[in-house]
């Protein structure tokens, strides 16, 4: 159980790092798309700064929620890895489960959020692809970390 918790915490940290890099508008095209989705590209530099200053005091709640959600995902990956190992499968079998979990659960959830959200046209597709790939990268890194413990 302790191993699962350690992997969960490490995975939440990995997800935060991947998300920070992935959605940084100065480093990646996905970050620029994310800013377009949020409408930041239509604001002046002064308006962007004012909005950031207004949001800053509340951002810890958003980050806490995201870390909690990432922790749940990491705990799930750790649990499945642990369960597989204790039932005789190699730890690397998690790499067979990850694409299925991603394709059958994560991709549809992201798709639903975009379908019912405010993204439209080409931006919706960019956001869909970006969000799906971000999750796949995070899942695989967390899975790799889990295999180091078993």
Tell me what the pLDDT averaged over the chain comes to: 90
Residues 6+ apart with CB under 8 A from 134: 18, 19, 22, 23, 30
pLDDT tens profile 113-125: 888 887 777 888 9
Count CB-CB contacts under 10 A for residue 29. 10
Residue 142 pLDDT exceeds 80: yes
C-alpha torsion sign, points 138, 74, 127, 97? positive
Provide the domain limits for residue 61: 2-149
Cβ atoms of residues 147 and 81 within 8 Å: yes
Closest Cα partner for 11 from 114, 147, 116, 143?
143
Give the pLDDT of residue 69.
93
Give the pLDDT of residue 65.
93
The count of structural domains within the chain is 1
- pTM for the complete prediction? 0.85
pLDDT tens profile 58-71: 888 988 999 999 99
Count CB-CB contacts under 10 A for residue 55. 10
């Amino acid at each position: 159980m302790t191993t699962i918790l350690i992997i969960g915490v490490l995975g939440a940290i990995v997800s935060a790092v991947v998300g920070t890099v992935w959605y940084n508008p100065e480093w990646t095209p996905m970050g620029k798309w994310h800013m377009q989705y949020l409408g930041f590209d239509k604001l002046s530099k002064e308006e962007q700064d004012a909005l950031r200053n207004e949001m800053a005091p509340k951002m810890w709640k958003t980050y806490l929620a995201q870390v909690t959600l990432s922790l749940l995902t990491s705990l799930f990956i750790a649990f499945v890895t642990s369960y597989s190992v204790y039932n005789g499968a190699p730890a690397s079998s998690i790499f067979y489960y990850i694409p299925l979990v991603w394709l059958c659960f994560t991709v549809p959830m992201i798709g639903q959020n975009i379908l019912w959200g405010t993204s439209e046209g080409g931006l919706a597709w960019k956001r869909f692809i970006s969000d799906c790939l971000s999750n796949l990268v995070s899942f695989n890194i967390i899975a790799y970390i889990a295999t180091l413990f078993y």
